[in-house]
A and B are shown apart, each in its own frame.
Chain A
Amino acid sequence: MPTIRQPGAVALGVAAIGIGALLLRNRNTATRRPALRDAEPPPTIKAARRLNRASGLIATSTLLDSAIEHYRGSFHNKAMITPLIASALTLVVSVHGTADKHQGAHRVRDPVYLAAAVTGLVGTGFHLYNIGKRPGGFSWQNLFYGSPLLAPAAVTLSGLLGYYSERLRDNAPAGPARVFGLRAGRALAALSSLGLLATAAEAGLLHFRGAFHDPFMYAPVTVPPIAAALLADTALGHPEPPNRLTCWWLRLTAWVGFVGAAFHIFGVHRNMGGWRNWRQNVLNGPPIPAPPSFTGLALAGLAALGLLEEHDDA
């Protein structure tokens, strides 16, 4: 008989958040440049903070989603607690980063983001292993009902966007904005575009499993891919400025993410027993925390557009 150590898991998560908060308090600001007070922060810092916000939103989504889904999986493997810790820490440092106007990468935020990105990659490996060991191996049945293949990728994305924001802060206030030697704005547009495509693929797989029984289930497989295409166009469009349509379409995508959560709340109600039977239906019904990942990625895309508009060489 497997036991579910739910209070233990919650305590661990709270402890992780607490440790993160403490680490952030103890930061050594002497090694970093002071905040630019009473002045408009440079576009790289503005974009970095927007990215912190995007990363935090995706981390919220992955924290809640992995908590629910791994509780459903009875934390059968001890490692199933890892995404909860990684996402909780990412959330904490993202809140911190959103409020931080300092130049230069933060010595706690930076490694936390990197660790989250690696956690997501390792998680993808675990999920691949889980699907592969099921009877039938890599069949549609197991892709639908086994561990969701692309869910850990969202943890990677939140870590990667945060790590990117730290690299943005490494840029001097004046001069070209570069990340890994690439044009920071264009590269971020490309990264957000890929993230949106991957997330839309996951939604497509699971909404296909749900037989697209509600016409609104087509929204996440149409709106985000178009946003991804527009962002890809932006990424490859140097030296053209970003299209206004891209901006509006990303806002629409962000909205779709939030409305999606509301639709999923309704979806839980549609299951037998409705919300009265929440202990079954929150697990069995559509995942409520999943859709806001689109919002997070759309915000990352908007951060890229903002940087391109506000910076002369990004």
Chain B
Amino acid sequence: MPDRYPGYSVLAKRDTPSWNEATRQVVDARLAIADEPHFFNPQEWQTLRAVCDRIVPQPSNRPEVPIAALVDRKLADDERDGYRTSSLPKMQQAWQQGLAALDAAANSRHGTRYHALSGMQQDSLLTAMQHGELNGPEWHGMPSATFFTERLVHDTLAAYYSHPTAWSEIGFGGPASPRGYVRMYFNRRDPWEAAEATPGREAQACKANEHVG
């Protein structure tokens, strides 16, 4: 996939008026998260990591965003969303049940645990979950399609896009506080915004991105 924002790193804004101390502390804490579980047991952690790799495959030319660890901390801190689909149990319980049920489905279909399956097998199980085709006592009445949409995809994507690496990838400037945006009209750009590369103008975008901050 071409780099849409060549040369852009949101972290270049760290010590500029774009970010304040509160923002720096939050982002620093997020970057310091170790790629290890605090909430999940080792089996759940293996399954979660395998799921994250299928939902958000990451390029090999940069350090990976620790999606599983970010989801894990959300659960360890029990940082709930403030709303919940009534057919799902509370966040922590839903994740534990869902990962256990996914492993059980892998065992019954392929005779091995989820993380040991091939990529195609893993995808077909996730697709079955998405279509609500995974049932069984391990689900405790939780609809697998709802778990897929409301928890699994929701939490893994939110975790990925909460990380500065993902912000740099999509040209996002991070929290707009204290510095917001001034040129709020189509195709206008503030000097502290990422410059998007249009085909043939990658070098110009790269040069502009050197001065973002």
Contacts and interface: CB of A to CB of B under 8 A. Distances in A.
Nearest to A272: B178
Nearest to B181: A280
B183 A74 contact: yes
A280 B179 contact: yes
A72 B183 CA distance: 6
B196 A283 contact: no
A3 B178 contact: no
B17 A273 contact: yes
B182 interface: yes
A276 interface: yes
A284 B17 contact: no
A283 B185 CA distance: 14
A168 B112 CA distance: 99
Contacts of B204: 1, 3
A74 B184 CA distance: 11
The 5 A-B pairs with the shortest beta carbon distances in the complex, nearest first, are A277-B17, A273-B178, A272-B178, A283-B182, A273-B17
Contacts of A72: 182-183
Contacts of B102: none
Contacts of A272: 177-180
Contacts of B180: 272, 280, 284
16 contacts: A1-B189, A1-B195, A1-B197, A1-B198, A1-B201, A2-B187, A2-B188, A72-B182, A73-B183, A74-B183, A74-B188, A272-B177, A279-B191, A280-B179, A280-B190, A283-B182
Given A74-B188, A76-B188, A279-B191, A1 B182 contact: no
Q: Is the interface of B mostly helix, strand, loop or mixed?
A: loop
Nearest to B184: A145
Interface of A: 1-4, 72-74, 76, 272-273, 276-277, 279-280, 283-284
Interface residues of B, number: 23
Interface in B12-27: 17, 20
Contact of A279 (B188, B192, B198): B192
Given A2-B188, A4-B191, A280-B182, 7 more contacts: A1-B198, A1-B201, A1-B204, A2-B187, A72-B182, A272-B178, A284-B182
A283 B204 CA distance: 25
A273 B179 contact: yes
A279 B178 CA distance: 12
B205 interface: yes
A244 B204 CA distance: 62
A74 B183 CA distance: 8
A2 B208 CA distance: 11
A277 B188 CA distance: 19
Interface string B100-133: 0000000000000000000000000000000000
